Amino acid sequence: MLPKKEHDPQEDDPVKGEVIRRVRESVLTTVRDEYRRARKLRAGSCHVVWKRAKEILLREHGIDWKTPQEMNLHTRFD
């Protein structure tokens, strides 16, 4: 059985959680479009999405969100 992955508790907040979800979805769409235009998919694109989302959340919303990588230090993401 795989261990449960941890997530930032702020994601459970009704207001902050919705902001985090919207920003992550928006960034994911942007990254997918960029990769589609470049005609290549990259392994590890989740790290690009998380980094951009983290920056936007802090700069535009004052939310210091912890990425899945930060919350699960002993887990490898690709």
Q: Where are the domains of the chain?
A: 11-65
The dihedral built from the CA positions of residue 45, 46, 51 and 52, taken in this order, carries a sign that is: positive
Tens digits of per-residue pLDDT, 2-49? 667 899 999 999 999 999 999 999 999 999 898 888 776 666 789 999
Mean pLDDT across 48-60? 97
What's the pLDDT score for residue 8?
Answer: 97
- Chain-centroid distance of CA 35 in Å reads 17
In the chain, the amino acid numbered 28 is L
Q: What is the pTM of this model?
A: 0.86
pLDDT value, residue 78: 73
Q: Residue 55: what pLDDT?
A: 98
Residue predicted with more confidence, 46 or 66: 66
Phi, psi of 44 (to 5 degrees): 85, 10
